[in-house]
């Protein structure tokens, strides 16, 4: 009877020091711009250059879309917060942030596993690659990634948002992250945390195991290659994906399954910042610098403009 409905939340964000907040605004604005431009450039290159119309770049195109959506879900409101113009967020807006955050994060978990399978087929079964990874299979795998992310993201978000919230309404984060919002619920959230852990097992540990198995087979195939050029080509195609996998899964497991997960707001902010800004801005850089075909497509686009 003492519960009151919460209509909005206050995002505490980062430091209250005005000078530090201004510096953070400048740094985060640059990273967000790099995320938008880098991922958009990768998307455009893949669409325009016929040499990049292959399964690997098809999935990379979806990864670029995910990175743009992921960053755009959280960062604009965070930048307003740093300027002191957007600390409050409505309950519906907070729910939307949680929902989209979960959808994009879970979709990327599945998509990275799909990309490792693509590399496994390309390196371990090169003669049957075009037959196995045909257009229908690629579309199906991409659709399954998005469908799994949407279904389980919607399930977690709906269960969290149906909890009673009766104040305080201050979220110790720079956006409505699900663990930070659960701390404000006026009831026991053990069931929600158990569900989050179960989803992490399904979307983090299981896909990571599949990725490791794929790369063990890839490593065994690489060791049978006697050509130095073959070694270099194989490592160049797999190195970029392994780098992204290590950054993404390592931080996700540490944040949601590590000891004391959900208890340290400072750690949650840093790791969420990595997901929202640093990783999406680095992904295009990693792929473009380590991938010869992407660099050639970029040079071709520059010559066409001239």
**Residues 6 or more apart whose Cβ sits within 8 Å of residue 217:** 120, 124
Kindly state the average pLDDT of the residues 172-187.
87
Q: Are strands 8-11 and 88-90 parallel, antiparallel or unpaired?
A: antiparallel
Of the pLDDT bands very low, low, confident and very high (cuts 50, 70, 90), residue 148 is very high
CB atoms within 10 A of CB 15: 12
Domain that holds residue 121: 8-305
Q: Which helix (H) or strand (E) holds 174?
A: none
Residue 73 lies in a domain: yes
- 177 Cβ partners below 8 Å, 6+ apart? 98, 101, 171, 268, 272
User: Is 159 within a domain?
Assistant: yes
* Poorest-pLDDT segment among 84-98, 225-239, 245-259: 225-239
CATH number at residue 69: 1.20.1070.10
- Chain mean pLDDT for the chain: 84
Residue 242 located in a structural domain: yes
Question: Which of 178, 186, 157, 169 has its CA nearest to residue 12?
Answer: 169
Res. 166: pLDDT tops 50: yes
Report d(CA 121, CA 131) in Å as an integer.
10
Q: Is there a domain that residue 1 lies in?
A: no
Say what the pLDDT of residue 143 is: 96
Q: How confident is the model at residue 2 (pLDDT cuts 50, 70, 90)?
A: very low
3 lies in some domain: no
Quote the strand ranges of 151-284, DSSP E.
170-171
Structurally, how many domains does the chain consist of? Answer: 1
Query: What is the model's pTM?
Result: 0.88
């Amino acid at each position: 009877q003492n519960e009151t409905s919460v209509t909005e939340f206050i995002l505490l964000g980062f430091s209250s020091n005005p000078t530090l907040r201004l510096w953070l605004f400048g740094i985060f604005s640059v990273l967000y711009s790099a995320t938008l431009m880098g991922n958009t450039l990768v998307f455009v290159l893949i669409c325009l250059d016929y040499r990049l119309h292959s399964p690997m770049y098809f999935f990379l195109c979806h990864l670029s879309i995910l990175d743009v959506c992921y960053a755009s879900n959280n960062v604009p409101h965070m930048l307003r917060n740093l300027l002191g113009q957007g600390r409050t967020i409505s309950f519906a807006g907070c729910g939307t942030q949680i929902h989209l955050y979960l959808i994009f994060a879970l979709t990327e978990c599945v998509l990275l596993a799909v990309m490792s399978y693509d590399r496994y087929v390309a390196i371990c079964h090169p003669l049957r690659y075009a037959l196995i990874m045909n257009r229908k299979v690629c579309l199906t795998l991409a659709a399954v990634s998005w469908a799994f992310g949407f279904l389980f993201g919607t399930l977690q978000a709906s269960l969290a948002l149906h909890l009673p919230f009766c104040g305080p309404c201050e979220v110790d984060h720079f956006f409505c992250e699900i663990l930070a919002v659960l701390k404000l619920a006026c009831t026991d959230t053990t069931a929600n945390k158990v569900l989050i852990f179960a989803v992490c097992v399904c979307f983090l540990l299981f896909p990571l195991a599949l990725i490791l198995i794929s790369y063990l087979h890839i490593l065994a195939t690489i060791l049978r290659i006697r050509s130095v050029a073959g070694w270099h080509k194989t490592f160049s195609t797999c190195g970029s994906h392994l780098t992204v996998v290590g950054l993404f899964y390592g931080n996700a497991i540490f944040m949601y399954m590590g000891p004391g997960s959900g208890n340290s707001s400072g750690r949650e902010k840093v790791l969420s910042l990595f997901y929202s800004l640093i990783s999406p801005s680095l992904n295009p850089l990693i792929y473009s610098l380590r991938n010869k075909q992407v660099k050639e497509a970029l040079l071709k686009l520059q010559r066409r403009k001239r």
